[in-house]
Amino acid sequence: MRRRRLPAFTLVELLVAISVISVLVTLVMPGLSRARAAARTIQCLNNLRHLGAAWTLYADEHRGYCMPQVWFFHSPPLYWWGTNGNPANYQAGLLFPYLDVEAGLDNVFDCPEQPWGSYIPQGAARGPTTTYGYNGLYLAPLASGWFVTSPNAPWLSIEEIESPSLVFVFADTALDWSNQGHMSNNCYIDGPQTPWGNRWAANSSPTLRFRHRNRACIFFADSHVDTVHNTRATITSTVSNIGYVGQNPGPHYVPTWQKWF
């Protein structure tokens, strides 16, 4: 029996096929990259939505009052997300009882655009803590980590928040002390001014990070989530895309700032 020979590609046809595949890959890759970035943004907003729901549940069980930023009298200091030891302890956090999460990598405390390894942890932590910040300065000034003694800066209940649709509660945050891209995590939302004695002083280290294609993901006090583009912000760390929105503490950070001092 004669064996039939199958037609083979010529060298020219093979080169043409490779060229077509290369062009298709070039066209498809940007779309895939945008799709992955969009998925990470959705996941970040979902994380913030979970944190915001837990924040509301905490208030419901504490006479309506917002949770503190940090208890320094606790040893080690107890932050809203947990204790900053080695390893970090999420289970000790004020929100943990209201969250259905596992401690460790890729949990609700980590923005997928700021994975472990892309920043330097602060304090004693040698592992992931959180890459989200909380607006404790406005919501719980006496336990905010800032030395606030003004009688016009009360610890707030959720119902006492002014302009809740504008107030940041949780957001993408980071610090870049030297503007060299050597970022550290930060669990505070700090705006253009911070308390200094009995006055407001310019803040050289704001923390809002626009890491989602120049947008920051934010949970607002009226329980909606949204992104804010850096074109609405003043960027103080151009390498890391970190800055603040507005020129004074109101309305996003401390809407009652003019009454404090």
Query: What is the tens place of the pLDDT at every residue in 69-111?
Result: 999 888 888 999 999 877 788 889 999 999 876 544 458 999 9
Asked whether 212 and 34 are in contact (CB, 8 A), the reply is: no
Q: Name the DSSP letter for residue 141.
A: G
pLDDT in the model for residue 104? 46
Residue 235 included in any domain: yes
Residue 3, pLDDT > 60, answer no
Residue 7 included in any domain: no
Going by C-alpha positions, the residue among 188, 200, 82, 66 that lies closest to residue 135 is 188
Task: Give the chain's domain count.
Answer: 1
Quick: pLDDT tens for 128-182.
889 999 999 999 999 999 988 888 999 999 999 999 999 999 999 999 877 777 8
Residue 61 included in any domain: yes
Find the mean pLDDT for residues 215-222.
98
Kindly report the backbone phi and psi dihedral angles of residue 67, in degrees, each rounded to the nearest multiple of 5, phi listed first: -70, 155
**3-state SS class at 98:** helix
Going by C-alpha positions, the residue among 84, 109, 106 that lies closest to residue 95 is 109
Residue 94 included in any domain: yes
Residue 4 included in any domain: no
Domain limits for position 180: 32-260
Q: State CA 96 to chain mean position distance.
A: 17
Specify which of 2-16, 31-45, 204-218 reaches the highest per-range mean pLDDT: 204-218
Residue 246 included in any domain: yes
Residue 12 included in any domain: no
pLDDT in the model for residue 254? 98
